[in-house]
């Protein structure tokens, strides 16, 4: 652990409730709000499970699973409702820092290929999971059918990943887990974010390369002058 940093003391003094509340907000936003696509849901779920293994008395796994499951279900339900009422307008919305048409189109293409199973599969796909319920709502999927996929996907993702993190934390000897918890969490978060970075790079490869090339030419290209050379 870091000098002067006692995670267990922080959790006991109210940090556990704050952490659960933050988990709820982030999972909810990433599940159903179109601007939440950049949030690190996978990493947080895994990390929460590891922390629960290290401090099960003050940060119990059951509480993590209940909070994350409810956030995922409610978030997707809100996304479905938004898509059902306003979804088609998003297709005319210009790109911005918090909204990209390509993410919406990717979710739509995935939905057209896989149908209702998209709501379950997309839970494990960065970017797509945020727009999947919106696309389902815009496509007028019957809500009862959507709800079945929503509950199934939420159970597999919002409960499965914390349990996987808890299992990982339980394998590590307690003295090592307690001493190196921050380092272990950093490694878990880095590994879980890797697919997101790879997806982002592949989706923006041409734009990234174009920017790199243009910066490489800075200082070489000179603006044209209307005056003839002397």
The tens digit of pLDDT for each residue in 93-110 reads 776 665 667 767 777 787
pLDDT at 68: 94
Q: Which of 222, 197, 201 is nearest to 211 (CA)?
A: 201
Whether 16 is in a domain gets the answer yes
Between residues 22 and 205, the one the model is more confident about: 22
CA dist., res. 28 & res. 127, Å (int): 14
Following CA atoms 87, 91, 95, 99 in sequence, which dihedral angle do they give, to the nearest 10 degrees? Answer: 20
Share the mean pLDDT of the chain: 76
For 34, the 3-state DSSP assignment is helix
User: Cβ contacts of residue 170 below 8 Å, gap of 6+?
Assistant: 53
CA dist., res. 59 & res. 17, Å (int): 9
Q: Which domain holds residue 71?
A: 7-215
pLDDT at 34 over 80: no
Is this structure's pTM higher than 0.75?
no
| Number of domain units in the chain | 1
pLDDT at 153: 93
pLDDT at 89 over 80: no
What pLDDT digit, counting tens, does each position of 135-183 carry? 888 888 899 999 999 999 999 999 999 999 899 888 887 777 666 666 7
pLDDT at 218: 45
Whether 135 is in a domain gets the answer yes
Whether 184 is in a domain gets the answer yes
Whether 127 is in a domain gets the answer yes
CA dist., res. 68 & res. 59, Å (int): 13
pLDDT at 84 over 70: yes
CB 33 within 8 A of CB 75: yes
């Amino acid at each position: 652990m870091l000098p002067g940093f006692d995670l267990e003391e922080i959790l006991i003094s109210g940090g556990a409730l704050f952490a659960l509340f933050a988990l709820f907000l982030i999972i909810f936003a990433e599940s159903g709000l179109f601007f939440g696509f950049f949030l690190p849901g996978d990493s947080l779920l895994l990390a929460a499970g590891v922390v629960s293994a290290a401090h099960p008395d003050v940060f119990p796994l059951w509480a993590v699973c209940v909070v994350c499951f409810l956030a995922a279900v409610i978030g997707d339900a809100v996304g479905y409702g938004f898509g059902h009422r306003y979804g088609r307008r998003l297709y005319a919305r210009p790109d911005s820092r918090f909204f990209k048409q390509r993410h919406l189109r990717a979710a739509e293409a995935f939905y057209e290929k896989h149908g209702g199973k998209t709501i379950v599969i997309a839970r494990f796909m960065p970017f797509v999971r945020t727009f999947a319920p919106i696309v389902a709502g815009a496509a007028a999927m019957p809500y009862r059918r959507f709800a079945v996929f929503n509950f199934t996907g939420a159970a597999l993702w919002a409960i499965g990943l914390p349990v996987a993190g808890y299992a990982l934390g339980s394998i590590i000897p307690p003295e090592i887990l307690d001493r190196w918890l921050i380092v272990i969490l950093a490694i878990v978060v880095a590994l879980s974010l890797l697919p997101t970075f790879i997806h982002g790079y592949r989706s923006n490869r041409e734009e990234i390369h174009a920017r790199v090339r243009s910066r490489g030419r800075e200082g070489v290209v000179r603006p044209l002058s209307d005056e003839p050379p002397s």
